[in-house]
Amino acid sequence: MTNSIKSWAEVAPRLIAVAAGRAPADMVITHAKWVNVHSREVLENSTIAIAEGRFAYCGTHRDSLIGPDTTVIDAGGRFAIPGLCDAHMHIESGMLTPTQFARAVIPHGTTSMFVDPHEIANVMGLPGVREMHDEALAQPVNVFVQMPSCAPSAPGLETTGHEIIPADVVEAMQWPNIIGLGEMMNFPGVVNADEKMLAIIAATQNAGKVVGGHYASPDLTGFHAYAAGGPADDHEGTCEEDAVMRVRQGMRAMLRLGSAWHDVETQITAITERGLDSRNFVLCTDDCHSGTLVNDGHMNRVVRHAIDCGADPLVALQMATINTATHFGLERELGSITPGRRADVILTSDLRSLPVETVIARGQVIAKDGEILCEQPEYQWPETATHSVHLGHALASTDFDIAAPAGKNAVKARVIGVLENQAPTKALTATLPVENGLAVGDLAQDVCQIALVERHRATGQVVNAFVSGFGYNKPCAVASTVAHDSHHMIVIGTNKADMAQAANRLQEVQGGVVVISEGKELALVRLPIGGLMSDAPAAKVAAAADQMVAAMATCGCTLNNAYMQHSLLGLVVIPELRISDKGLIDVTTFEKTDLFLKDDV
């Protein structure tokens, strides 16, 4: 229970008195089209009464509801829908702190978020999760926290700043705002009954809380074993069959529309065409950067998209409200406009285009016509969070040299292939030139260099490889300390001097994203908190992010949301090929692989 709303037990006498006509409400909404997500119907000319931050009465109008101090809002025939819920997301992907993220999404009608802070867990461990938990509690909307499950996400294949162990999960399950376990990314560990993974799941289930899932393989033969291991949902589906498999195994299929992941359209046909029970489907964003939040929206964007993909508007709303609440065991607490629930409601004039005209949370008007109206306290992060980038020494261009096998004039190399709007990569091969004994990229083949720079323990380690798909066609480098999940530094470039300059610049500013071209800094997004987040307003961060995207385009990049693709190239739990501090990782076999193939060129 968050600390800014009283429990139902504390206020039940007042709610009953209002509903019985013995006491006036604090707020009454009149002349509303009440969208009831329990019965899936719209009830015309309804009155909704609120007391103590919760709904007390929903039905036809009663004069007894209104007293001299009651705030009356005439909906004027607009729809009253429940506040929107994001079932799975990472606040850090917005480049914002919880406070600034909430400020960005409240005007879009998001009043409940279920957040997995496994990014900060990889950098700071359990203390970082506690900071996210405590800041979440201070928000005027519901920000529930899932305890991260996998740091590292793939043990033995990467080194994180900190490790999450079963004892950490046991401790976190006692915190007041922990709603469950974050996505269980180590799906091979679950399938193989790894003792540590099962202990983490058991700690969650023993606490009576929900285990989040993450089965990223397109091969579903191991999915039955994964489902038997305890995960209750999964957001990694990319096609209709993925969604069908999840709900058939008793899980919730989470369909995501983030900044780069467009997986709703390909899965929602399980409802719209195959007729599966929509109660087992949930909408989420997973990863949204600040530019998307400021320019396009949040869960309102996802609901509109689901409707555009053929979902009935009321079904789409259920997937973003009551389905989510039910999944997390909060059906009696939020997700609908019904007595006893938290008074989170949106007034909108159209269910398809979904303009968010008024947002009420816990019985208070907190946004209107795109403007936030509520105050939020400042939150101070500790110095350990603002000094998290440690390279050990200033990097030089030679740190990015890739020595070719002796005597070769050309080499056949493995190349990470980026797929637009999808999290998986392709394991490609390319024949690349050798210059002065060094293997180099080939812009004619759209192959440039990628490097992972260790940044947690100041080892000075640099792992080099090749990547394709960004389209860079001039001397440049892009570096980021956001590098899921271990969050070392990833540098991609066509010019090694620029790559070194970019890496050194991020150590200087203690984290962020920078674009360098021929020694000139084209864009910089400062992310000083864990190298992941900024406490600046979303609009300011979004403006810097827009400049970053424009700078990447100036360097030849044509990908939609290339930054998200960049930041996931170290994610060694999603096929097919990734980079880590251990080397190049084949994520179909979960083994390290050689950069060069043995075939003669």
Judged by DSSP in three states, 502 sits in helix
Rg (CA), the chain: 25
What domains can you pick out in the chain, each with its CATH number?
Answer: 82-334 (3.20.20.140), 384-593 (no CATH)
pLDDT in the model for residue 180: 98
Output the CA torsion sign for 465, 466, 470, 476.
Answer: positive
pLDDT in the model for residue 65: 98
The predicted-structure confidence for 253-265, as pLDDT tens digits, reads as follows: 999 999 878 999 9
The predicted-structure confidence for 414-428, as pLDDT tens digits, reads as follows: 999 999 877 789 999
pLDDT in the model for residue 375: 86
Output the CA torsion sign for 555, 560, 563, 569.
Answer: negative
At 514, list the tokens.
Answer: 């920078």
The predicted-structure confidence for 584-598, as pLDDT tens digits, reads as follows: 999 999 999 999 998
Whether the predicted pLDDT of 432 surpasses 90: yes
Averaged pLDDT, 217-238:
95
Averaged pLDDT, 524-548:
96
Averaged pLDDT, 235-240:
95
The predicted-structure confidence for 130-160, as pLDDT tens digits, reads as follows: 999 999 999 999 999 999 999 998 899 999 9
Look at 52-66, 287-301, 318-332, 456-470 and tell me which has the smallest mean pLDDT. Answer: 287-301
The predicted-structure confidence for 189-207, as pLDDT tens digits, reads as follows: 999 999 999 999 999 999 9
Whether pTM > 0.75 for this model: the answer is yes
Whether the predicted pLDDT of 223 surpasses 60: yes
pLDDT in the model for residue 600: 59
Mean pLDDT of the chain: 96
Confidence of residue 29 (pLDDT cuts 50, 70, 90): very high
Whether the predicted pLDDT of 1 surpasses 60: no
Determine the Cα–Cα distance for residues 15 and 305; give it in Å rounded to an integer. 36
Averaged pLDDT, 506-513:
98
Nearest to 347 by CA among 588, 89, 537, 107: 107
